């Protein structure tokens, strides 16, 4: 199928003819209405941009992606990934935290480029177990049989990275400012990530979010607590062995069950969490006073708590425009409309049920405004049309209000994914997207990028 090409838009109005009958005049004629070379160039550039944007949107809808490897580990399995373009942070099964540059770097052979790290921290998290049988039954039941890795959560924003581990530690890292993979002096194994602080949990850290506006990091933990940690600035290369490197705990809030996932809506200041009993929570993430989270007031207040999945645990969550999306341990994904101004704890509205995955949905991304991207332990990355949680629904397809005590009406609208990207393993642990690309793990020792910016075969076909 040939993707539709957006034709160039006509100019805003037909150019008047000059005395010689030539439309628009010419630069040599010096007519007052003659378009300047600058305006013509701007119009041509605008039309090209519009065509390219429309072509990329078509590729997103039809699966016209170009796969490439952004990092290949030589000896370790990648189990978590997140990116803030052009850099991606990865967590490995053995406990290392890696940061790579995801751009296509010219002049380097494929294998050298794919193995060239920006920065890393080997053994950032300890691995005190060697097999599934050495992990508790509860942990295996909640996180899944295939969630094998010492690093259980990662996040990145600008030059700051965060990682959470099975060892119970949250650790903050800073990318050295002089790290440059194209510099001939750059170490092949990458610079060393700078230790920027740590916070200890009594159990596995399951989620981490960097909140730059609030100058804090949020974490979820198997002990059922949501925590906020102050982001402190360190200029030394601390080794993490002294108490001065501990992050200040701003506060903690209980969900009553093991907390498995976390997502922050920075615009509405709502923090979403999912728990082992199938519930989802919407917390007040607190007002921001200047550039710092204000403490001691409404922060941590539960805006709403509801049964999101009555057939399994809430394994993943992502904020979305007007609400959130939740993923079940059994495969379904639900879209919820959440009112930020609710004061009575009323449950949100179930807008859509998204059917496609057949195993635990472990990652949901809404970085692309038109599409939702999800990854699951069925080894697939799926792309969906994004449900508009703020749109008015037709009367015959009205969304349903959900009883906060449980029981989901099966009359809600359902949708299927546009397509699935296969070839991943059941150990897939992280998927993230923006308007141009998807980056994920799930290929053992490889992190993949699926790029929609160019025609994958350069032949116009999808």
Query: Is residue 23 predicted with pLDDT exceeding 90?
Result: no
CA–chain centroid gap for 24, Å, is 49
Query: What is the fold of 52-451?
Result: Methylamine Dehydrogenase; Chain H (2.130.10)
Which residue in 175, 193, 187 sits closest to 122, CA to CA? 193
Q: What is the pLDDT of residues 85-115, one digit of tens each?
A: 999 999 999 999 999 999 887 666 666 777 7
Euclidean distance between CA atoms 8 and 11, whole angstroms: 9
Say what the pLDDT of residue 44 is. 80
Q: How many CA atoms lie within 13 A of 157 on its CB side?
A: 13
Which band of pLDDT confidence, cut at 50, 70 and 90, is reported for residue 334?
very high
Polymer length of the chain: 462
Say what the pLDDT of residue 411 is. 65
Percent pLDDT > 70 in the chain is: 77
Helix (H), strand (E) at residue 277? none
Q: Which of 160-174, 192-206, 234-248, 425-439 is predicted with the least confidence, judged by mean pLDDT?
A: 234-248
Query: Is residue 250 predicted with pLDDT exceeding 70?
Result: yes
Which band of pLDDT confidence, cut at 50, 70 and 90, is reported for residue 342?
low
Query: Is residue 460 predicted with pLDDT exceeding 60?
Result: no
Gap between the terminal Cα atoms of the chain:
6
Say what the pLDDT of residue 281 is. 95
Q: Which of 205-219, 333-347, 424-438 is predicted with the least confidence, judged by mean pLDDT?
A: 333-347
Question: Long-range contact list for 288-295, CB < 8 A, 24+ apart?
Answer: 288/213, 288/214, 291/213, 291/215, 292/214, 292/215, 293/211, 293/213, 293/214, 293/215, 293/216, 293/228, 293/250, 295/250, 295/251
Max CA-CA distance within the chain? 89
Which band of pLDDT confidence, cut at 50, 70 and 90, is reported for residue 140?
confident
Say what the pLDDT of residue 50 is. 87
Query: Is residue 410 predicted with pLDDT exceeding 50?
Result: yes
Q: What is the pLDDT of residues 143-162, one digit of tens each?
A: 888 887 899 999 999 999 99
| Rounded alpha-carbon distances, angstroms, from residue 377 to 90, 153, 330, 424 | 18, 16, 10, 9
CA geometry: angle 271, 273, 279, nearest 5 deg: 135
Which residue in 171, 302, 150 sits closest to 238, CA to CA? 171
Euclidean distance between CA atoms 314 and 262, whole angstroms: 11
Q: Who has greater pLDDT, 298 or 400?
A: 298
User: For the chain, which residues make up each domain, given as ranges?
Assistant: 52-451
Structure tokens of 205? 């850290």
Q: What is the pLDDT of residues 430-445, one digit of tens each?
A: 999 999 999 999 988 9
Euclidean distance between CA atoms 9 and 16, whole angstroms: 18
DSSP code of 377? T
Task: Give the best-scoring range by mean pLDDT among 7-11, 302-306, 363-367.
Answer: 363-367
Which residue in 171, 189, 170, 169 sits closest to 179, CA to CA? 189
Euclidean distance between CA atoms 48 and 424, whole angstroms: 35
Structure tokens of 6? 């957006």
Q: What is the pLDDT of residues 363-393, one digit of tens each?
A: 999 999 999 999 999 999 999 999 876 554 4
């Amino acid at each position: 199928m040939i993707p539709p090409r957006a034709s160039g838009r006509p100019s805003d109005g037909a150019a008047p003819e000059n005395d010689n009958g030539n439309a628009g005049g010419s630069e040599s004629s010096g007519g007052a209405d003659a378009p300047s070379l600058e305006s013509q160039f701007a119009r041509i550039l605008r039309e090209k941009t519009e065509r390219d944007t429309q072509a990329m949107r078509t590729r997103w809808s039809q699966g016209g992606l170009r796969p490439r490897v952004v990092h290949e580990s030589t000896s370790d399995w990648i189990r978590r990934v997140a990116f803030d373009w052009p850099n991606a942070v990865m967590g490995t099964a053995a406990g290392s935290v890696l940061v790579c540059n995801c751009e296509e770097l010219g002049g380097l052979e494929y294998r050298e480029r794919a193995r060239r790290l920006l920065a890393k921290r080997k053994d950032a998290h300890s691995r005190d177990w060697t097999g599934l049988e050495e992990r508790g039954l509860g942990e295996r039941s909640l996180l899944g049989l295939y969630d094998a890795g010492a690093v259980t959560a990662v996040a990145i924003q600008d030059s700051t990275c965060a990682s959470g581990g099975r060892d119970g530690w949250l650790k903050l890292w800073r990318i050295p400012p002089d790290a440059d993979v194209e510099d001939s002096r750059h170490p092949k194994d990458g610079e060393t990530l700078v230790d920027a602080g740590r916070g200890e949990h009594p159990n596995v850290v399951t989620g981490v979010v960097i909140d730059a506006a609030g100058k804090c990091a949020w974490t979820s933990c198997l002990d059922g607590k949501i925590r906020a940690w102050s982001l402190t600035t360190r200029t030394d290369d601390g080794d993490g062995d002294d108490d001065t490197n501990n992050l200040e705990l701003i506060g903690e809030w209980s969900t009553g069950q093991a907390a498995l996932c976390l997502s922050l809506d920075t615009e509405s200041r709502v923090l979403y969490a999912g728990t082992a009993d199938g519930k989802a929570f919407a917390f007040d993430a607190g007002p921001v006073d200047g550039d710092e989270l204000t403490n001691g007031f409404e922060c941590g207040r539960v805006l709403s708590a509801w049964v999101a999945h009555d057939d399994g645990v809430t394994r993943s969550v992502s904020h979305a425009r007007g609400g959130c999306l939740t993923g079940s341990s059994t495969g379904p994904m639900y879209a919820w409309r959440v009112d930020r101004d609710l004061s009575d704890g009323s449950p949100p509205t179930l807008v859509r049920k998204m059917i496609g995955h057949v195993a635990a949905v472990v990652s949901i991304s809404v970085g692309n405004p038109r599409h939702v991207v999800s990854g699951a332990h069925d080894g697939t990355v799926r792309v969906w049309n994004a449900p508009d949680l703020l749109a008015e629904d037709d009367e015959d397809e009205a969304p349903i209000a959900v009883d906060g005590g449980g029981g989901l009406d099966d009359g809600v609208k359902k949708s299927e994914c546009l397509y699935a990207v296969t070839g991943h393993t059941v150990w897939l642990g992280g998927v993230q997207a923006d308007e141009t690309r998807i980056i994920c793990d799930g290929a053992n020792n490889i992190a993949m990028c699926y790029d929609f910016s160019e025609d994958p075969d350069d032949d116009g076909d999808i």
